[in-house]
Structure 1
Amino acid sequence: MIPLNQRLKKVSTYIQGDCLADIGSDHAYLPIYAVENNLIDTAIAGEVIKGPFDASVRNVRDYQLSNSIDVRLGDGLSVIKADDHITSVSICGMGGPLIAKILTEGASKLKDQPRLILQSNIQSGAIREQLVKLNYTICAEDILEEKGHIYEILVADYNEKSVAMTEKEVKFGPKLLENKTALFYKKWERERAALIKIKDNLDSDMHKTRLAEINKHINLINEVI
């Protein structure tokens, strides 16, 4: 059995259906784990760079899963084909704006309305904004810490009637706001401290726009924590 870190194990608990497309697959660890544990029948491991692509091919072959996992080289969701019938898409280990960009550019590949499981390292708000535009509604969110880094996991299902989010829900997460854990507070206290540090180093005359933006973010954090 392939070992999997805590972050990807949590992601795996949200996979649904028979076929997973894991974008930016990082050695195909998640697809291999999901197939080995009977979470799915088949998977696509997408890689945009040749080195990671070759590593994923080797791993799939070493675990004797070449009949179940198809490793493909391509940018973002472009690796998904019309007849794949994907039921879950995972995009993990990237910044929120990059994940949002992948979803935007690959929107036509979501015709089967798969579940989206998105794990961002920073700026998850960009993802939430894009999900609304794609008629996806967040059904679950998780926050976890691993090796000193705090990560957010967003899980969204297709909804014909797009559900709008408030400014606070976009920034902090609608589900995370409903259940503020100790880690939630830790993340945003850390974020507030970083913003205050930046603010203290800005000139009030030269950086008025930036200061106003920072003060707005600090005030939002203060309201939530």
Structure 2
Amino acid sequence: MIKLSKRLQTIADCVTAGARTADIGSDHALLPVYLLQSGKCPSAIAGELNYGPYQAARKQIAEAGLTKVIEARQGNGLGVLAPGEADTVTIAGMGGALMADILETGRLAGKLEGVKELVLQPNVGEEIVRKWLSKHGYVLQGETLLEEDGKQYEVLHALRAADSPADVTNERLYDPSFLPAAMEPGLKQEWLYRMGPYLLRQRAELLPNKWRHEIGKLERICKQMGQSELPESREKEALLRGEINAIEEVLSCLQMVKPSSNC
């Protein structure tokens, strides 16, 4: 059986057994091949925009002897799917803005019809993906923050609201009342989207490290802005300082909140 990276294995573990799966941006089709070889899924589609990765996916599928149950398709995003053709869609390794755009374009075209489950791994802009899910009737079931090859990744697992347990709703997930009252309500809400409702509540082990690293990047940018006398630079530096202060406030709150697996 093919061996997956830690990141792809985390995604595979989230996929519901028995689901017809479509992996969008499949590259070498490693994830679909694993899902079939492990017996977790009965069929899969490997979608890829560019010709080179599409051919690599076809080769991987053929070498695994799975051409009858995994189909490689070349196309843009969810355009490779027909409505009702997949139960689960996985998308990994791209920015959150692009991921949300792929999902929205597919939604408007009816490509998400019948899709009960989304497993998503944005490289950046995770809050954009969380907001899209919340707006369009998907509810997070869990989040994983992992580290691989010196980089940190977030894997988001969501179900349609109709398929989500009754006690797991977006209203409960994004209810910021568990955070200390000293924080402004609007700030609480925004940081639930940015840091992740599960990751915050459970005080994910890697979460402080991730955001301390972000603070470091912002500090370096502020230092560069400080060397400029332009008014725009002063304004940009002030905004970044506000961002740093907000992150520090949320991180300090994490030390005050008991970890919880409940919403």
Q: TM-score, normalised by structure 1?
A: 0.94
Counterpart secondary structure, 2:97? helix
- Give the equivalent residue in structure 2 for 1:142: 144
Q: Secondary structure at the match of 1:109?
A: coil
Which of residues 156, 167, 176 in structure 1 aligns to 2:190? 167
In 2, distance between residues paired with 1:210 and 1:3?
45
Tell me if the contact between 2:93 and 2:123 (Cα under 8 Å) persists in the aligned partners. yes
Distance in structure 1 (CA, Å) of the matches to 2:70 and 2:87:
14
Aligned mates of 1:136, 1:87 — CA distance in 2: 14
Compare 52-61 and 211-220 and name the one that shifted more: 211-220
Deviation string 1:127-178 (CA, Å, 9 cap, x unpaired) is 1111122111111000001111110011111116972542111110011101
The SS at the match of 1:168 is helix
Which deviates more, 28-37 or 178-187? Answer: 178-187
Secondary structure, in 3 states, of the residue corresponding to 1:71? strand
Mapped contact 2:84–2:113 kept (Cα < 8 A): no
Percent identity, aligned pairs only, is 35
| Structure whose CA Rg is larger | 2
User: 2:199 is matched with which residue?
Assistant: 176
The letter for the 2-side match of 1:12 is A
Gaps of 5+ in 2: 175-188, 252-263
2:160 pairs with 1:153: no
Q: Which moved more, 1:153-162 or 1:121-130?
A: 153-162
Q: 1: distance between equivalents of 2:160 and 2:190?
A: 21
TM-score normalized by structure 2? 0.81
Q: Which amino acid aligns with 1:168?
A: W
Q: Mean alpha-carbon deviation: is it higher for 164-173 or for 13-22?
A: 164-173
Unaligned runs of 5+ in 1: none
1:87 alignment counterpart: 87
Please state how far the C-alpha of 1:2 moved relative to its aligned partner.
Answer: 1.1
Q: Which amino acid aligns with 2:94?
A: M
2:123 is equivalent to residue 97 of structure 1 = no
Q: Secondary structure at the match of 2:91?
A: strand
Q: How does 1:6-155 map to 2 (within 5 A)?
A: 6-16=6-16, 17-84=18-85, 86-107=86-107, 108-155=110-157
For 1:27, give the aligned amino acid: H
Residue 208 of structure 1, CA deviation = 4.1
- The 2-side partners of 1:65 and 1:123 are apart by 34
RMSD: 1.7
Check whether the contact 2:94–2:123 (CA below 8 A) recurs between aligned residues: yes
AA at the equivalent of 1:153:
V
Matched to 2:221, the amino acid is: I
Which whole-Å CA distance do the structure 2 matches of 1:216 and 1:157 have between them? 35
